[in-house]
Copies of this chain bind each other. A is one copy, B any other.
Amino acid sequence: MTNEEASETLITRNPSLTDQVTAHLKERILGDGFEDGRIPSETDLAADLGVSRTTIRDALSRLEHEGAIVRRQGAGTFVNRPGLQIKSRLEEIWSYEEVLRDHGYLPSVDVLGHEETVADARLAADLGIDEGDAVIVVEKLFRENDTPVVLTVNQIPAGYVAGGDVDPAQPVYALLEAGGERRLAYYVSEIVPLALDGDVAFKLGVAAGTAAISFEEIGYDADNEPVVAATSYFRDDLLRLRLIRRKAAL
């Protein structure tokens, strides 16, 4: 009996060496395991951890990209204190619950709306479907304690989500995976400033006309086919969006 474990779990990955090294180094960085902010040389790390320098470099590249470290040719690799301030990198937001948790909040989700409508011309064009096709609209409010922080409106072609028994409170990517039709690969997002109108302002618990940021975005699957159109509104006084800007490509 060649008993294969981990049978039913949806998660297939056994962490790659690079993943493990990344996690290990991140732990040491956050735990102040490197006294003066200097990280050992790549050669030393490779020897210590028993992997090749390539693996070490892959891990360091990730940490550099996250802003956790800075590398300087000829000099060494160093912990990057300002970079560590950044809790959620804008380009990697995938679930607002996680974002709020990263900010130290205890998030909760309220489904404000969950209905089926038909696509208008603009939405049909965005999603590559026909005008009048059925679309599921899910409106969710993310709070920390009782304070609203993020409001999202997702519009998904009805055929991509499973029947009525799914929980609309789960993240969109999970909703789509449950549907089995399409899998979310990436978003193209526009950052749009606006003065909140009465309805959205009320739901977010701020005065109408308050300046705020919204994301207008389209999510695509790996085949570059659009699968979801979304708009998100943020309470910027509670959730500051941060990012690192660098000159060079990685």
Contact = CB atoms under 8 A, between A and B. Distances in A.
Interface of A: 22, 61-62, 65-67, 70, 72, 78, 80-83, 85-86, 90-94, 173, 184-195, 211-213, 217-218, 220, 222, 224, 226, 236, 240-247, 249-250
Given A62-B249, A65-B249, A241 B86 contact: no
Contacts of A250: 61-62, 65, 250
Contacts of A247: 92, 94, 173, 184-186
Contacts of A80: 224
Contact of A72 (B67, B91, B222): B222
28 contacts: A61-B250, A66-B249, A70-B224, A72-B222, A78-B224, A82-B220, A85-B188, A86-B188, A90-B243, A91-B91, A91-B244, A92-B246, A93-B245, A94-B247, A173-B247, A184-B247, A185-B246, A185-B247, A186-B246, A187-B245, A189-B242, A189-B243, A190-B240, A190-B242, A191-B213, A191-B241, A192-B236, A194-B211
